[in-house]
Structure 1
Amino acid sequence: MEFKALYQDYKEETLSGRYITNNHIEPLLNKLASDFKITTAGLSVNKQPIYTIEVGTGDQKIYMWSQMHGNESTTTKALFDFINLLNSNSSLAKALKETFRFMIIPIANPDGATAYTRVNANAVDLNRDSVNLSQPESRLLRHIYDNFQPDYCFNLHDQRTIFGAGNTGKPATVSFLAPAYNENRDINTVREKAIGIIVAINEELQKYIPGQVGRFDDSFNNNCIGDCFQSLGTPTILFEAGHYPNDYEREVTREYIFIAYLVAMLTISKSEHVSNKTVEYFEIPQNMIVFFDFIYKNIKIDAADNQKITNFAAQYKETLENDKINFEAYIAEIGTLSEYFGHTVYDFKEETILNEKGFVPVINDKADFLVGNKQKIVNGLLKK
């Protein structure tokens, strides 16, 4: 199947960047065909609608939810690319809707999406509230699960740029997890099904992003929604949209998430995931915190009347301003940094660096400085 061509055909052009809210998706919901059932299933803390999209008449029930962390929007963009496919007159759309019945929550935390925060309006992480059910959004996610009784759950997230696929020096552009269902992290038939789907997705994605697929940590926490649903007997997969080189808007990663959705559906429809793929699953490199957005190598600084050569790292912080996400680079670490990689790396060849006040930058300073009075770093990047 020509997955990349399908993505180009069905990409939702009105959605882009990192800031995706109800205001962005409501016009799209209004354009869907009559076989799509759009419902305001509940309200957030701040009384924003939480929408569900239900479509398909098949026996296999798929429950998908995105943006339970409000600032994690890549999987939402890819959801609407996938929904555009389902909304088409193609033979593939017809086959998918005859095989599956989809229950989709495109934005599970609309208040967090509006404020561009991980947490909801009560400052609660909804992915740590699956047992306590202290929040209306958490209760709704569970209520839909109980009523819909899905055969598979897809828990859709973004992950930070700090993650690599192992310590290979390649970013974890997409990561997956078949969550544990108990403290021992045992493999039962339920988790085995999720594992088989992930292995199939990984095999396809390796054709496009070799070495850039990671496996998320499977420590058990029943207050996490994936662990909770897995423990209740539903095969559940965590999708994590991560960093592709120079893709801070996550438009490249979005394509691979779309491909992952399609491969998952095709794998389930052909029952190709039921055989034991545990060995192949654990061969996927585990996510490791090994990246900074910037590393500046071989910087000369004065220390106690002695000069030494060291390295600096900087990391972007994301801020919301005028409905747009700004990326602001700050010094995050100073030292050998021998265990880390940079998405952007500069070698300053034993030059000095000074900030606008004439001092050597320190941790939490903005990454704006002069390099040996010759070059200028502005917001992390070398100014040309």
Structure 2
Amino acid sequence: MKKIFLSILSLCSLSVIGQSDNITTQLYDTYENYKESSIGSRRIKRTDIQPLINKLSSNNKFKVATVGKSIGGKDLSLISIGTGETDVFLWSQMHGDEPTATQAIFDILNFFDSADFEKEKEAILANLTVHFLPMLNPDGAELYQRRNLLGIDINRDALRLQSPESQTLKKVRDSLDADFGFNLHDQSTYYNAERTEKPATISYLAPAYNYEKEINKTRGNAMKIIVFMNDILQKYALGQVGRYNDDFEPRAFGDNIQKWGTSTILIESGGYADDVEKQEIRKLNYTSILSAIYTIAQKSYESIGIEEYEKIPENDRKLFDLKILGATYKLMGNSYTIDLGMNQIEVDYPDHNSFWYSSRILDQGDLSTYYGYETLDATGYTIKQAKVYPKTLTNFDDVKALNFKEILKQGYGYIRVSSIPSKNINSPFPIHILGTKFIIPELNLAPGINPTFFLEKSGVIEYGVINGFLVNLKESEIQVPNGMIFR
């Protein structure tokens, strides 16, 4: 009898999700009409979104209020639309370096300001009042860092409420007594869907409200919304959805907001191949969140079965940017087979508007249970140390004139330069720059070192790894964003 009941619930769920396919497809296909083009980079700041908020303030469709200030004195704004009795509250960027959903929020606001989807918007705005608190941590966003100026994680300040940002979030939640809450974050791009090579492009959690992880109506409704959103994402990012561990964290806002009676959906934006600025993930946020808001307005989520929630794969963290598989590594007269996992680590420039790469080997040995955004089967290839170019060049103009592909083919990964501009903190070339006195140590592969070496087969160098980026020397293009400078 239980199996029959669950089957009926599943059929109901499929029916609900099927009914929403049309609007979801339309939202995805027409996204470029609503994308806010002024904030296309991840490193957005409060000054980037303030003109957008000012514009909404003069639009009678929206209600805009300053609901608090950050430690650094920056405004925290609440943007509301709709007249319905059900309140939906979305807040983003409580971690300053997690901006993907902030961008999607302004895309969603553009959607509400448009003349399109009239019937669907009428259904949403008559039944819901939707509230957006973008960029809860503007000081952290200014520095592109997780924590606020007090140096604390706002998401672990729900009990003590030391920070004004935390106090504002609690005050707004309580004043709205919101029925649904969307807690919007970014996660590491190195998470994968459990036991697969696919990145966890989006991960979800219906946070527990106690240590026993009980499921009441509030949490159950959050699970239903997640099941609904997961089904949407499978259409555009098949197998690329994860689910966070639901151990109760008594200091966290998500867990407490669930406890306080708001059905809370945590959304984490992770990685997507060839999407460094997370613009495809931004589009997925836009499509799935708007679709979820629509199903809340229609109350069609109510018939969705929560048993599908547990079937979403758990988050794992077994992705590298680059994985080298089965290479031969010679050490102390012996040959070994070794896998290497490397991450291309972003380092901000001082203005926090852009970044460069300082890559590292993260792990090595048997990495057969790990995956890579890019993987090279190096069976039959031998790892060779990168050499220093025999001629010392005068300046960067001399370096720029070189044929880098031919130099790399000869196994040179470093060029000595007598005059290195003090303003340069990395090499603008697909090769490392050395000062006149810097001595390259013998290659000793180990976690933590910068990955630079060559792969040779039958006496011919066919691949290079420069600053953690793979170079196929049989192809014409060399895609290494930057090298390092060793003064």
What does the per-residue CA deviation read over 1:87-118, in whole Å, with 9 as the maximum and x for residues that have no partner?
A: 11231334322222122111000011111111
Residue matched to 1:255: 283
Give the alignment of 1:109-148 within 5 angstroms.
Answer: 109-148=137-176
The answer to which structure has the higher helix fraction is 2
Deviation at 1:298, TM superposition (A): 2.1
Give the alignment of 1:68-107 within 5 angstroms.
Answer: 68-90=94-116, 91=118, 92-107=120-135
Distance in 1, matches of 2:368 and 2:180, equals 41
The question of 1:342 aligning with 2:372 is answered yes
Counterpart contact for 1:299–1:353, Cα < 8 Å: no
The question of 1:354 aligning with 2:385 is answered yes
Counterpart contact for 1:86–1:96, Cα < 8 Å: no
Residue matched to 2:449: 365
State which of 11, 35, 39 in structure 2 corresponds to 1:15: 39
Distance in 2, matches of 1:67 and 1:115, equals 13
Distance in 2, matches of 1:15 and 1:374, equals 40
CA change 1:94–1:148 in 2 (3 A) is same
Deviation at 1:299, TM superposition (A): 2.4
CA change 1:181–1:353 in 2 (3 A) is farther
The question of 1:4 aligning with 2:64 is answered no
Residue 49 of structure 2 aligns with an amino acid whose one-letter code is I
Distance in 2, matches of 1:379 and 1:30, equals 43
Counterpart contact for 1:181–1:231, Cα < 8 Å: yes
Deviation at 1:133, TM superposition (A): 0.9
Give the alignment of 1:295-314 within 5 angstroms.
Answer: 295-314=323-342
Counterpart contact for 1:44–1:50, Cα < 8 Å: yes
Deviation at 1:73, TM superposition (A): 0.7
The question of 1:280 aligning with 2:312 is answered no
Residue matched to 1:58: 84
Distance in 2, matches of 1:326 and 1:67, equals 22
State which of 209, 219, 229 in structure 2 corresponds to 1:201: 229
Counterpart contact for 1:298–1:351, Cα < 8 Å: no
Deviation at 1:382, TM superposition (A): 2.1
Deviation at 1:169, TM superposition (A): 1.5
Residue 151 of structure 1 aligns with an amino acid whose one-letter code is D
Counterpart contact for 1:301–1:360, Cα < 8 Å: no
Residue matched to 2:72: 46
State which of 300, 320, 341 in structure 1 corresponds to 2:348: 320
Counterpart contact for 1:192–1:278, Cα < 8 Å: yes
Q: Which has the higher contact order (CA 8 A, sep 6+)?
A: 1
Counterpart contact for 1:85–1:93, Cα < 8 Å: no
State which of 266, 272, 275 in structure 2 corresponds to 1:238: 266
Distance in 2, matches of 1:198 and 1:326, equals 35
Counterpart contact for 1:174–1:240, Cα < 8 Å: yes
The question of 1:329 aligning with 2:359 is answered yes
Distance in 1, matches of 2:43 and 2:261, equals 34
Secondary structure at the aligned position of 2:369 is classed as coil
What does the per-residue CA deviation read over 1:168-192, in whole Å, with 9 as the maximum and x for residues that have no partner?
A: 2111111111111110111111111
Work out which of the two has the higher radius of gyration on C-alpha atoms and give 1 or 2.
Answer: 2
Tell me which moved more, 299-308 or 8-17. Answer: 299-308
Residue matched to 1:215: 243
Deviation at 1:333, TM superposition (A): 0.8
Distance in 2, matches of 1:27 and 1:266, equals 28
Give percent identity, aligned residues only: 35
Deviation at 1:276, TM superposition (A): 5.6
The question of 1:67 aligning with 2:97 is answered no
Deviation at 1:374, TM superposition (A): 4.7
What does the per-residue CA deviation read over 1:153-177, in whole Å, with 9 as the maximum and x for residues that have no partner?
A: 1000011112111112111111111
Residue 17 of structure 1 aligns with an amino acid whose one-letter code is S
TM-score (norm 1): 0.95
Secondary structure at the aligned position of 1:273 is classed as helix
State which of 186, 203, 219 in structure 2 corresponds to 1:158: 186
Counterpart contact for 1:300–1:353, Cα < 8 Å: no
Counterpart contact for 1:54–1:104, Cα < 8 Å: yes
Deviation at 1:37, TM superposition (A): 2.1
What does the per-residue CA deviation read over 1:320-363, in whole Å, with 9 as the maximum and x for residues that have no partner?
A: 22411334321111111121101111233331142552413432
Secondary structure at the aligned position of 2:103 is classed as helix
Unaligned regions of 5+ residues in structure 1, if any? none
Residue 12 of structure 1 aligns with an amino acid whose one-letter code is E
TM-score (norm 2): 0.76
Distance in 2, matches of 1:35 and 1:175, equals 32
Deviation at 1:31, TM superposition (A): 2.0
Distance in 1, matches of 2:205 and 2:344, equals 26
Distance in 1, matches of 2:143 and 2:445, equals 31
Counterpart contact for 2:191–2:318, Cα < 8 Å: yes
Tell me which moved more, 161-170 or 325-334. Answer: 325-334
Distance in 1, matches of 2:95 and 2:294, equals 27
Counterpart contact for 1:52–1:104, Cα < 8 Å: yes
Distance in 2, matches of 1:197 and 1:20, equals 29
